[in-house]
Amino acid sequence: MSSVKKLGQQTYAFTNPPVFAGAASVVGPKEGQGPLGNQFDLVLQDSLNGEQTWEKAERKMLKESCQGAVKKAGLTPSDIDIMMAGDLLNQIISANFTARDLGIPFIGLYGACSTMFEGLALGSMLIDGGFADYVLTAASSHYNTAERQYRFPTEMGVQRPLTAQWTVTGAGAAVIGVQGQGPSITHITIGKVIDLGVKDSNDMGSAMAPAAADTIIRHFQDTGRSPSDYDLIVTGDLAAIGRALTEQLVKQAGYDISKNYTDCGILIFDPTQDTHAGGSGCGCSAVVLTGYLLKEIIAGRFKRVLGVGTGALLSPSSTLQGESIPGIGHGVVIDAYNLGG
């Protein structure tokens, strides 16, 4: 017997779609100078955010975004049933410290850069299933903390290849609730880990594109919908090369998404900002969703959006040992239908 809420193989439709009650975003200075700069709630003056270390700066951003989202929802931390958050640092340490400070029951998540969408998908299930009234989901990344964990120290004189992406310094948080007015999550599509053998950790867009395409295709097949049912299809952090590859892969399956498809890693930076392929990191999709996409949906510019949070599930040792990069993509459908009017 299959679940009554399951559509096809990987998609779930909610009977009581959870509603976005509040969302907040904090970004670093470079992101603040980008095309979406004036959309974010807080733009840091410098990447240390008044702290001694970049790790502390990242943690502070995550905490500020969580507090902002709870406040915008008109709630206090004690009203939140469960917090789900994660980041890129070893043992998701930023999220752990943030949850300690906020005192909300916590489930730590690791989905690499897909963490925000992983949290939204799981949180929606908890709410629709009647297990929680309010769930806080959040994710963060920081250019300097990620560079030194995954690549070279920032002051090392290395040329970044054109395929490289720039880890977004930013944190995004959202409160989803059982009721209220706001954009709703109507469907989710849980992705499979897909790996087509890309090993170059400076080309993560190519590594993740097959996973993103797989989830998008699966979503259309499971729901019977087509690309034209969406005003926007947006992936998490594939950037320019990954976006082009995803478009081709989805087309091979018979779906043309060229007209309404973009990527958060392309939206967040301008080509003149020298980020090469575009943005990446947990913070990339988290801040573009909470700072920009939700606002556009509320403003009525997009009625229905399919967001696919993408993650490159590599570790520094797997890269050194010559392993390929497994990718994942989690789809979340955000619909404006109960906004009223």
Partner 1 sequence: MTDEKLIPSDRELQEMQYQMMVTSAKPKPPLLRNVLGAFVIGGAICVFGQALLNFFKSSGLAKPEAGAATSAVLVFLAALLTGLGVYDSIAKYAGAGTIVPITGFANSIVAPAMEFRQEGMVFGVGQRIFTLAGPVLAFGFVTAWLIGLITYLFK
Partner 2 sequence: MDYVKAFVVGGAMCVIGQLLIDLTSYKITPAHILVGFVTGGAVLSGLGLYQPLVDYAGAGATVPLPGFGHILAQGAIKGVQTKGLLGAFSGGVEASAVGIAAAIIFGYLAAVVFTPKGE
The binding site for partner 1 (CB under 8 A) comprises 52-53, 55, 148, 152-159, 161-163, 196-198, 203, 206, 210, 241, 244-245, 248-249
How many other CB atoms are there within 10 angstroms of residue 272's CB atom? 8
HEC states along the chain?
A: CCCCCEECCCEEECCCCCEEEEEEEEECHHHHCCCCHHHCCEECCCCCCCCCCHHHHHHHHHHHHHHHHHHHCCCCHHHCCEEEEEECCHHHHHHHHHHHHHCCCEEECCECECHHHHHHHHHHHHHHCCCCCEEEEEEEECHHHHHHHHCCCCCCCCCCCCCCCEECCEEEEEEEECCCCCCEEEEEECCCCECCCCCCCCCHHHHHHHHHHHHHHHHHHHHCCCHHHCCEEEECCCHHHHHHHHHHHHHHCCCCCCCCEEEHHHHCCCHHHCCCCCEECHHHHHHHHHHHHHHHHHCCCCCEEEEEEEEECCCHHHHHCCCCCCEEEEEEEEECCCCCC
Only one residue has tokens 């730590």, namely 108
197: contact with partner 2 by CB under 8 A? no
Choosing among partner 1, partner 2, none, which partner's interface includes residue 162 (Cβ < 5 to 8 Å by kind)?
partner 1
58: contact with partner 2 by CB under 8 A? no
272: contact with partner 2 by CB under 8 A? no
318: contact with partner 2 by CB under 8 A? no
CB 141, min distance to partner 2, A: 13
Residue 138, token pair as written in the block: 């959040």
54: contact with partner 2 by CB under 8 A? yes
206: contact with partner 2 by CB under 8 A? no
Quick one: which segment of 64-72, 127-135, 157-165, 245-253 binds partner 2 (CB under 8 A)? 157-165
Query: How many residues in the shown chain lie near partner 2 by CB under 8 A?
Result: 21
Choosing among partner 1, partner 2, none, which partner's interface includes residue 298 (Cβ < 5 to 8 Å by kind)?
none
CB 200, min distance to partner 1, A: 9
Residue in 25, 169, 186, 246 binding partner 2, rule: CB under 8 A? 169
Quick one: which segment of 65-73, 146-154, 179-187, 216-224 binds partner 2 (CB under 8 A)? 146-154
Choosing among partner 2, partner 1, none, which partner's interface includes residue 30 (Cβ < 5 to 8 Å by kind)?
partner 2
317: contact with partner 2 by CB under 8 A? no
**Cβ nearer to partner 1, comparing 13 with 196:** 196
Choosing among partner 2, partner 1, none, which partner's interface includes residue 245 (Cβ < 5 to 8 Å by kind)?
partner 1
Choosing among partner 2, partner 1, none, which partner's interface includes residue 206 (Cβ < 5 to 8 Å by kind)?
partner 1
Residues at the interface with partner 2 (CB under 8 A): 28, 30, 47-48, 54, 143-144, 152-159, 161, 169, 199-200, 202-203
